[in-house]
């Protein structure tokens, strides 16, 4: 992610959609934070489960962590987020 946003001269919002536990992202927190800094437009993570104590670390470094319940939720949240960013 960091390398991708580093290439852009314009602000880039980072959006991560996952249907699995992201506990394994903890070792990558530094890179995820660096990507936010290079992107300069924030970041959002859509989770297919409830946020936990471990996801609080992602919130702390600047990601907006949002829980989804159904595919319809994902569609609505994605459209809403796109409207917030580009609308």
- Other residues' Cβ atoms within 10 Å of the Cβ of residue 63: 21
Phi-psi region of 42 (alpha: psi -120 to 50; beta: other; left: phi over 0): left
For the stretch 49-83, pLDDT in tens is: 777 777 888 899 999 998 888 888 888 888 888 89
pTM over 0.75: yes
pLDDT (0 to 100) of residue 60: 92
CB 40 within 8 A of CB 14: no
pLDDT (0 to 100) of residue 39: 94
């Amino acid at each position: 992610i960091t390398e991708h946003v580093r290439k852009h001269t314009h602000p880039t919002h980072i959006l991560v959609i996952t249907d699995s536990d992201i506990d394994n992202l903890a070792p990558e927190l530094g890179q995820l934070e660096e990507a936010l800094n290079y992107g300069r437009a924030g970041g959002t993570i859509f989770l297919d489960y409830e946020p936990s104590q471990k996801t609080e670390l992602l919130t702390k470094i600047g990601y907006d962590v949002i829980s989804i319940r159904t595919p319809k939720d994902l569609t609505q949240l994605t459209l809403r987020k796109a409207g917030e960013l580009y609308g």
